[in-house]
A and B are shown apart, each in its own frame.
Chain A
Amino acid sequence: MKQWPLVVIGFLLIAGWPLVVHDVFLQRVGALVLLAAISASAWNLLGGYAGQVSVGHAVYFGAGAYASLGVYTELGWPPIAGAPVGVLVSMGISALVGTPTFRLRGHYFSMATIAAAELFRILAANWPLLGAAVGLMGPPVPRSVADLSFISPIPYHYLFLAVLVVLLGLTWLMQRSRMGYYLAAIRGGDRAARSLGVPVLRYKLYALLLSAGFTSIAGSLYAVMVGFIDPDSALGILISVKMLIVAALGGAGTLFGPLVGAIILIPLEETTNAMFGGGGSGITFIVYGAIILLVARFQPGGVAAFWAVVTDRVSAGRRAPAVPGSSRVS
């Protein structure tokens, strides 16, 4: 069975979504799905393809979000102009944090990323330049189109879609290049990869830089759309956890896994939030926790692994190996 007709149909459905539905809530959910898909796909570059499970990606998301609203409050620039700044800051942080932590394997790496992220969250929450505990606001009234402040979710939908297409395109190229095979080897085990001559540390760092950069862009887009951030909504551990859950549910280390995960989880989250109001976020995370617990227990490959079983076309080589059991790290 060919995969490309499905991809084309899926793309058309996503591209047409805000034109087909007229309800603003549903249009907003569409844009949020794409945003979650961007950040989870960015996480997937490191956490999925390279198998380095980061629980600290909120740092890069927050760097992008704070850079966007920071250039607005400090310099009066349109928030989106902060995106490149955020990418540079994120890459700086990732080089700083990644170099020591990449020598750690498995759980140690995950724990170090949590500690690093919490460290930055506490610092931001106490730094007046970043609004301390109150956070930062975007332009209350758009000054020009460059502020990208729209009432309708439709412009955001297409902006996010464009970024997602670029990201998935790059991921697809990466997956088929030398780097894709190197990362698959690293996921199989550091030592084995090194013994095959893979420059492990260097390629982990490449994956992190790429991943951090795109996560930062997702953070900037979030700040531009929502127009308000504080330490918890931009740097909280739940931001990291959400990326991880979305990617893992869809299938970590697969091209479309994060998008599929976002399509399943984000409408669920928005519906619970709408139903239960402010107290809904608690219930959302009980559901999230239960989902990843069950995924881990019964099908660590996520929806992608189900899909492979359903379509019964497990041809090695076409797809980066994502089947459970293939990435055991000692």
Chain B
Amino acid sequence: MILLQVVVSGLLMGSVYALFSSGLTLIWGMMNVVNFAHGDFVMLAMYAAFFAFTLLKLGPIFFIPGAAALLFVLGVVVYLGLVRHVAKGPMLAQILGTFGLALVLRYAAFWAFTANFVSLPDNLVGGTFDIGGLRVEASRLLAGVLALVITLSMHLVLTRTALGSRLLAVAEDRNAAMLMGIRPDRMQAIAWGIGAASTGVAGALIALFFYISPTVGESLSLIAFVVVCLGGFGSVPGALIAGLGIGVIEALSAYLIGAVYQDVVVYALFLGVLWVRPQGLLGTN
């Protein structure tokens, strides 16, 4: 029974991982550039939610979409101001560009918000549900279910709408897309916006039940990389499955061998999979 409890909480957390990792996989699939600041975007969204609640007295119904909108703008600005330029340069420049951004965001947050952990009040989304003997906190349940719904709708937008087709066309072949009257630059800006917005929602959701600190982005970035690598680059369904899997593996290893080693298990698994299948578990090439 405890094991089942652990698996369920792993699935709920994994669903949030899947959400922000889908954003990374979209960016990556679109232009073959990694956002090393992805986890720090999540961190910013967490602080945005925290300050929206403490300073502006806004509840989750407002601060979740608010964080998404804020991060969408940030994503577009980062694309236009930085990524568009470094993507044309050598690989070193691509890595340095978003890595530098990650450092600036992380340590600016450190400087502005101090290293102290903060958190939203526990009872913001109150209560604990008892489902057939399983005890699930309402905040985690809300985060998990909402993240799952948004990840799935992201997949539907990509596969079922005209916008999605345009995005995928640019990912497939930039020049051919241009000949079809699609502006690749605009599509990539939108992809960065959507990718960052996914971290906005995810960050606001994590803030409901998790502590907030300036350095939380570091391990979240790594988790996003792991999920994207396992799920295959550019695949939202892959990210969903891998995200849920990582959530469960993390929860199980924290329960079975200790919380300090949960990241070790995830990283070791990641390196192990790269060893066997460099293209990712579900990737084709």
A-to-B contact residues, CB < 8 Å: 47, 51, 53, 55, 97, 100-101, 103-104, 106-108, 110-112, 114-116, 118-119, 122-123, 125-126, 237, 241, 244-245, 248, 252, 279, 282-283, 285-286, 288-297, 300, 324-329
Contacts and interface: CB of A to CB of B under 8 A. Distances in A.
Nearest to A52: B91
B126 to A, nearest CB: 35
A119 B99 contact: no
A55 B263 CA distance: 18
B274 interface: yes
Q: Which among B92, B96, B219, B267 has the highest number of chain A CB atoms within 10 Å?
A: B92
21 contacts: A100-B275, A101-B271, A108-B274, A114-B225, A115-B270, A116-B271, A118-B222, A119-B271, A282-B107, A283-B107, A286-B103, A286-B111, A288-B103, A289-B102, A289-B106, A290-B100, A292-B97, A296-B89, A297-B86, A327-B90, A328-B91
Given A119-B271, A283-B111, A286-B104, 8 more contacts: A101-B274, A122-B261, A283-B107, A288-B100, A290-B100, A293-B101, A296-B89, A327-B92
A105 to B, nearest CB: 9
Nearest to A286: B107
Contacts of A53: 91-92, 95
Q: How large is the interface on B (under 10, 10 to 19, 20 to 34, 35 or more residues)?
A: 35 or more
B109 to A, nearest CB: 9
B260 interface: yes
Contacts of B95: 53, 55, 107, 110
Nearest to B82: A297
B111 A123 contact: no
A112 B96 contact: no
A294 B96 CA distance: 9
A230 B226 CA distance: 27
B34 interface: yes
A280 to B, nearest CB: 10
B90 A122 contact: no
Contact of B229 (A111, A245, A328): A111
B110 interface: yes
B218 A237 contact: yes
B264 interface: yes
B268 interface: yes
A104 B85 contact: no
Q: Which among B106, B260, B278 has the highest number of chain A CB atoms within 10 Å?
A: B278
B86 A51 contact: no
A119 B267 contact: yes
A84 to B, nearest CB: 27
A116 B226 CA distance: 12
B204 to A, nearest CB: 25
